[in-house]
Amino acid sequence: MDRTLSRILSLATITLFAFVSARLVVHDVRYVGMVLLVVIGFVVPSWLARRRMKRLLISGDIARILGTWEKALDRVTHPETMAPLMTATAYAAYGFIDHARRALERAARGPAWDAAVEQRLFVEALLDVYEGERTRALTKAAELESLPLPRSSSFWMRRKISMLRRGVAALARAFAHQTRAEDERVLRAAASSSPLVHWAMRYAHAVVLIDGGRKEEARELLAGAPVWPQESAFRSFHDELVAQLA
């Protein structure tokens, strides 16, 4: 309810600003510069913040990532459930299996846990892939993909959620060596759309390329990957893939 009210107020504010700006410009074109300055003042800081967050997520620095989430975790509703679940999501996205499992164990069961079925399936599907539970991962990815999209979200947010779900399903198929024709495109799009899973999708994409005999493309895809710590499954994935490419 609070989110809906916030979106309504934001839309009303934007509409009012556009209306007033149009009236001012029609009255005197010299106001164009002032309107542009106001727009830049609002848009540029937000754009820079999103760019910094994207670069941080792609860096794979899990300590810094969780550090930036700390305040949000303190303010989240049902913190006894959602804070550990969000922490598990971050750990799972970067291959930290044991850390993610421990975070899931700390999450309180109850209405919030039941309602967070999408986030739980996302985390569990990734962890099953990392642990070699391919059949279980495929089942959970299929469950995730079949969930109804949230009606309260905007068209673009529903599209982003749908892309992430399809990416998880394509990732599970890649590691099970059951790739479909569209999976390469889906993995590329998911890596670009959701920086949190950028490297998970890239490693799955590399598996697809290697299975298809396109080793040079896979080598280029892995270039610039972070140096993963031993606790991350990505360390063994990376070493194994590089060995296959040698």
So what's the pLDDT on residue 5? 36
So what's the pLDDT on residue 43? 58
Find where tokens 């930036």 sit.
68
Tell me which residue of 90, 88, 86, 83 sits closest to 62, measured CA to CA: 90
pTM: predicted TM-score of the whole model, two decimal places: 0.81
Q: Is the dihedral of CA 106, 107, 110, 113 positive or negative?
A: negative
So what's the pLDDT on residue 34? 57
**pLDDT 10s digit of each residue in the chain, 246 long?**
334 434 443 444 444 445 444 555 455 555 455 555 555 555 556 656 677 878 988 988 999 999 988 888 878 888 899 999 999 999 999 999 999 999 999 999 999 999 999 999 999 999 999 999 999 999 999 999 999 988 877 888 889 999 999 999 999 999 999 999 999 999 999 999 999 999 999 999 999 999 999 999 999 999 989 999 999 999 999 999 999 988
CA distance 75 to 60: 24
CA distance 111 to 134: 29
The domain limits of the chain are: 1-59, 61-245
| Domain 61-245 of CATH type 1.10.3470 | no
So what's the pLDDT on residue 220? 93
Q: At what angle do helices 31-59 and 62-75 cross, to 10 degrees?
A: 120
CA distance 136 to 121: 11
So what's the pLDDT on residue 36? 58
CA distance 138 to 233: 18
Q: Report CA 64 to chain centroid distance, whole Å.
A: 16
Contact 84, 103 (CB under 8 A): yes
So what's the pLDDT on residue 18? 53
So what's the pLDDT on residue 4? 44
97's CB contacts (< 8 A; 6+ apart) are 91, 127, 130, 131, 233
